[in-house]
């Protein structure tokens, strides 16, 4: 699909399936027209389906159900926890094995949520799936990509993606971009007999090809086997968590070995007690819930966005868009709606008058006394041009709606030159009512007219009002000449009005409020694009830049792009260069688009966002597809990404503080040769109330903080000192209690548990800031639950907690308060350094 911002001619390709009969004697033709194939019959299709010669490669928008279960169950930490749980089942009692049930529940939650996300993704992918056209029994019909069979005749038009390998059978100026496969930037003109590869896409013309390789034999399918689309985008969040978990694994093994030896030595007379305390020391070191909550947060993000008709084709793209600081917008289809209306057809001076005034006869201009400046004849010519296009884009559809087909027999299409983003015009060769032949061009005035032409001032005046202006001209130069536009006689200006999206201005204001810069990059004239952007209130829109005037040097280009908000007359390659220039300045760039000439820029951008009604090619390379074409959905995607990243960073602090204090306690126990302060049941209640339950709610809460790089560094800044403070305070309270009465291990353990709970809940209170009513209620609920464990007899007996006496418990509380105040100091220092 070609859109008016990128198709200044307003004329897309002429489809082979609906072109009037061509090639009158003496017509200028680009070559003989081959006999159109009727395609397969229904019986032949059924036969090939029965033989399995069908394009049965599944569209993968998510992991399979088997992969989801395997990824959530068979993890290194689940293996560690599973072994520990098995040990407890042997030595007992069952309350010390509660952590195993928690892991089972967590894993089940992760599987259920990701399966829900998969269902959402798959249903949305089905809605947004390309439906190529094939010719069967002589008629064109749309079929699912998986419905193409071997030897099918597949039709191609501008913006269509080549979905299977094949050989060209029909070509009408068919140009294929194979850059996504070969890296070569220039489109390739295809002739009958040439090969086409799946994964390429049409940038100009029309044609058809016979499918020679389908299913997993096709080129694109073989590439897809190498990598799933689900994980192509790099996720700093997941990479950072994986790095942390890898380090913890290396730290965990020697610490666990030392703990096993020390507890067997200390509890030599009761090996079961030694094993239980050893397990209690190892289990808290594993931040098993961190991986779970990351997956759940991403999965719920997919579900939420799916409800807004937003297809996330690569899951980490949610995170990527949250980090974006620059959004490059295609004007048409993003800021404006697809539909257009003809405002007026403004005839220019007659051919004779212009020649007399300019004293520059065109080498192929019309004969003296030509009357094509007559508005009625101009309208008929436009109607004939529209009739040559069976797949009109919005601007050509506006022409068709305004002028309709010309009277029968008055005009006859002989040949057509499809639109090209490089040319900025398209043309049709017509047999005219007088019996003469002429080439009619429709395109960008500043491309078709020489510099200084009087009509350009008129074009600029109209463009400054936000109107779209195309030039209609005629020449007797054949379309297959080296430069058909060289002898063009300008005849009229076609003035079109674009429809602004009602959600464009609020969306731009949202990005501005979030310090995300918006840049409009369009193939339309810079003045026209600037007028539209100014009307929407985009900062800097009053200074639009024509991309043809941009410097070619990399550093100079980067500086110019960094300082400019609106660009016009941008070619597809320039779009790609502009994105690269922004990235060279350290910007994280998102690119939105719907036309085929957005593909290269979408592919190179950090995050590509395609409109649902855009071309097959744009949807194929984008990470996010807005199925309802609503530009206003983008803020929701940004907000969802920020929620995921910000909240995972919060809960990561909780989990890693626990890991740090668990490792520290284990090391202190090994070096002092004392019993480990906790049993597994104590670790379970502490983890559940200070981390597990709070983290689940915090991970799903709203969060509009802008995402920043350096996830691992920021998390460790609090987790390491917080864990050291918590572990030191707990061990100090434990040793004080032991010094007073080393024989009552249950009382000593209870004091240590109380101290650690207070410090851990203090960490939770810090991480949960800024406070809202529900966050305060969450903290209060966790404190209330722990109080119940201490005061309700059967709960305190079940968890083996009994605070005897007054001095030791209050000493533990005092140590915990001092540790909490120290945490506050550390937190404020960290916040100050982070914000600096």
Q: Which of 148, 132, 283, 307 is nearest to 212 (CA)?
A: 148
Pairing of strands 607-611, 589-593: parallel
Q: Of residues 770 and 336, which shows the higher confidence score?
A: 770
Asked if pLDDT for residue 226 goes beyond 70, the answer is: no
Please check whether the domain covering 87-97+231-303+638-835 is classified as CATH 3.40.309.10: no
DSSP letter string over 412-476? EEEEEEEEETTTTEEEEEEE-TTS-EEEEEEE-HHHHSPTT-HHHHHHHHHHTTT-EEEEEEEES
Residue 417's φ and ψ, nearest 5 degrees, are -110, 110
Q: How confident is the model at residue 33 (pLDDT cuts 50, 70, 90)?
A: very low
Q: Which residues contact 33 (CB under 8 A, 6 or more apart)?
A: 22, 23
d(CA 704, CA 726): 30
For residues 510-543, one letter each, b for 16 or more C-beta atoms within 10 angstroms of the residue's C-beta and e for the rest, the string is bbeeeebbbbbbbbbbbbbbbbbbbebebebbee
96, 172, 325, 330: which is the annotated catalytic residue?
330
Q: Which residues contact 239 (CB under 8 A, 6 or more apart)?
A: none
Q: Which of 759, 634, 735 is nearest to 318 (CA)?
A: 634
- pLDDT score at 29: 37
d(CA 616, CA 155): 13
799 backbone φψ class: left, alpha, beta (φ>0; ψ -120 to 50) = alpha
836: three-class secondary structure by DSSP: coil
d(CA 547, CA 538): 19
Q: Which of 533, 619, 547, 595 is nearest to 335 (CA)?
A: 533
d(CA 351, CA 490): 8
26 backbone φψ class: left, alpha, beta (φ>0; ψ -120 to 50) = left
Is 311:592 a contact under the CB 8 Å cutoff? no
- pLDDT score at 732: 95
Name the DSSP letter for residue 409. Answer: T
Return the CATH number of the domain spanning residue range 339-499: 3.40.1110.10
Angle at 703 between CA 701 and CA 705, to 5 degrees: 160
Is 568:527 a contact under the CB 8 Å cutoff? yes
pLDDT digits (tens, 9 = 90+) for 459-477: 888 887 778 888 888 888 8
pLDDT digits (tens, 9 = 90+) for 153-165: 999 888 788 888 8
* In the block, residue with structure tokens 């300045």: 585
SS3 of 704-753: CCCCCCCHHHHHHHHHHHHHHHHHHHHHHHHHHHHHHCCCCHHHHHHHHH
d(CA 609, CA 618): 8
On average, the pLDDT of the chain sits at 79
pTM: 0.66
CA 479, 480, 483, 487 dihedral sign is negative
Question: What share of the chain has pLDDT > 70, as a percent?
Answer: 83
pLDDT digits (tens, 9 = 90+) for 61-116: 556 788 778 877 887 778 878 888 888 888 878 777 777 777 787 788 778 877 87
Q: Which of 211, 251, 266, 221 is nearest to 56 (CA)?
A: 221
- pLDDT score at 820: 94
- pLDDT score at 5: 37
Give span(s): CATH 3.40.1110.10, the chain: 339-499
- pLDDT score at 781: 96
d(CA 164, CA 448): 37
pLDDT digits (tens, 9 = 90+) for 379-409: 888 888 877 766 666 777 788 888 887 777 6
Q: Which residues contact 205 (CB under 8 A, 6 or more apart)?
A: 13, 158, 171, 172, 173, 174, 175, 418
Give span(s): CATH 1.20.1110.10, the chain: 87-97+231-303+638-835
Asked if pLDDT for residue 417 goes beyond 80, the answer is: no
Q: Is 553 a catalytic residue?
A: no
């Amino acid at each position: 699909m070609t859109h008016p911002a990128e198709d200044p001619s307003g004329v897309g390709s002429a489809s082979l399936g609906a072109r009037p009969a061509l090639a009158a004697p003496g017509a200028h033709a680009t070559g003989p027209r081959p006999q159109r194939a009727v395609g397969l019959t229904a019986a032949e299709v059924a036969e090939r389906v029965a033989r399995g010669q069908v394009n049965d490669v599944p569209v993968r928008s998510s992991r399979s159900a088997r992969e989801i279960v395997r990824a959530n169950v068979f993890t290194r930490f689940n293996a560690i926890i599973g072994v520990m749980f098995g040990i407890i089942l042997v030595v007992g009692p069952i309350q010390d094995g509660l952590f195993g049930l928690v892991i089972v529940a967590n894993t089940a939650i992760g599987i259920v949520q990701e399966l829900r996300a998969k269902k959402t993704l798959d249903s949305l992918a089905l809605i947004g799936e390309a439906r190529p056209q094939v010719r069967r029994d002589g008629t064109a019909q749309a079929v699912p990509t998986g419905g193409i069979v071997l030897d099918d005749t597949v039709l191609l038009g501008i913006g269509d993606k080549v979905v299977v390998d094949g050989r060209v059978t029909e070509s009408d100026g068919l140009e294929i971009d194979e850059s996504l496969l070969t890296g070569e930037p220039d489109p390739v003109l295809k002739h009958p007999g040439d090969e086409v590869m799946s994964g390429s896409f049409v940038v100009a013309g029309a044609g058809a090809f016979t499918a020679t390789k389908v299913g997993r034999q096709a080129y694109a399918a073989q590439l897809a086997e190498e990598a799933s689309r689900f994980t192509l985008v790099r996720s700093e969040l997941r990479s950072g968590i994986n790095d942390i978990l890898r380090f913890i694994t290396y730290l965990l093994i020697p610490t666990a070995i030392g703990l096993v030896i020390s507890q067997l030595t200390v509890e030599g007379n009761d090996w079961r007690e030694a094993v239980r305390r050893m397990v209690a020391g190892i289990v808290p070191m594993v931040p098993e819930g961190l991986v779970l909550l990351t997956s759940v947060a991403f999965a719920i993000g997919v579900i939420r966005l799916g409800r807004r008709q937003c297809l996330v084709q690569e899951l980490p793209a949610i995170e990527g868009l949250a980090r974006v600081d620059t959004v490059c917008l295609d004007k048409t289809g993003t800021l404006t709606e697809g539909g257009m209306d003809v405002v007026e057809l403004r005839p220019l001076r007659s051919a004779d008058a212009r020649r007399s005034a300019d004293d520059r006869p065109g080498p192929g201009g019309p004969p003296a006394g030509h009357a094509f400046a007559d508005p009625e004849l101009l309208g008929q010519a436009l109607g004939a041009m529209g009739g040559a296009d069976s797949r009109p884009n919005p601007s050509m559809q506006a022409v068709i709606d305004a002028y309709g087909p010309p009277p029968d027999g008055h005009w006859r299409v002989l040949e057509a030159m499809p639109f090209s983003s490089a040319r900025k015009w398209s043309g049709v060769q017509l047999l005219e009512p007088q019996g003469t032949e002429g080439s009619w061009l429709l395109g960008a005035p500043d491309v078709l007219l020489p510099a200084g032409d009087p009509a350009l001032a008129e074009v600029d005046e109209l463009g400054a009002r936000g109107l779209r202006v195309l030039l209609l001209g005629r020449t007797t130069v054949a379309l297959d000449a080296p430069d058909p536009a060289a002898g063009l006689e300008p005849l009229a200006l076609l003035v079109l009005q674009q429809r602004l999206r009602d959600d464009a201005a609020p969306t731009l204001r949202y990005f501005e409020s979030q310090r995300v810069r918006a840049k409009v990059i369009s193939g339309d004239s810079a003045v026209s694009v600037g007028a539209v952007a100014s009307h929407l209130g985009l900062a800097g829109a009053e200074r639009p830049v024509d991309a043809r005037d941009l410097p070619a040097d990399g550093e100079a280009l980067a500086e110019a792009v960094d300082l400019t908000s609106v660009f016009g007359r941008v070619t597809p390659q320039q779009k790609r260069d502009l994105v690269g220039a922004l990235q060279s300045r350290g910007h994280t760039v998102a690119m939105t688009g719907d036309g085929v000439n957005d593909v290269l820029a979408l592919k190179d951008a950090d995050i590509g966002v395609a409109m649902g009604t855009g071309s097959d090619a744009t949807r194929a390379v984008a990470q996010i597809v807005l199925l309802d074409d609503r530009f206003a959905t983008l803020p929701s995607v940004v907000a969802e990404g920020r929620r995921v990243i910000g909240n995972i960073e919060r809960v990561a602090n909780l989990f890693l503080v626990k890991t740090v204090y668990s490792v520290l306690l284990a090391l202190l126990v090994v070096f002092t040769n004392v019993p480990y302060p906790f049993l597994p049941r104590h670790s379970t209640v502490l983890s559940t109330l200070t981390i597990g339950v709070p983290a689940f709610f915090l991970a799903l809460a709203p969060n509009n903080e802008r995402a920043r790089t350096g996830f691992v560094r920021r998390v460790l800044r609090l987790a390491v000192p917080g864990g050291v403070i918590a572990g030191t305070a707990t061990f100090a309270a434990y040793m004080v209690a032991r010094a007073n009465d080393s024989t009552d291990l249950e009382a000593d353990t209870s004091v240590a548990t109380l101290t650690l709970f207070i410090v851990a809940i203090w960490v939770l209170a810090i991480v949960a800031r800024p406070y809202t009513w529900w966050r305060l209620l969450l903290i209060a609920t966790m404190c209330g639950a722990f109080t119940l464990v201490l005061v309700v007899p059967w709960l305190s007996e079940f968890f083996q907690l009994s605070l005897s006496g007054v001095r030791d418990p209050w000493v533990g509380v005092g140590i915990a308060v001092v540790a909490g105040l120290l945490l506050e100091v550390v937190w404020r220092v960290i916040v100050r350094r982070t914000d600096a």
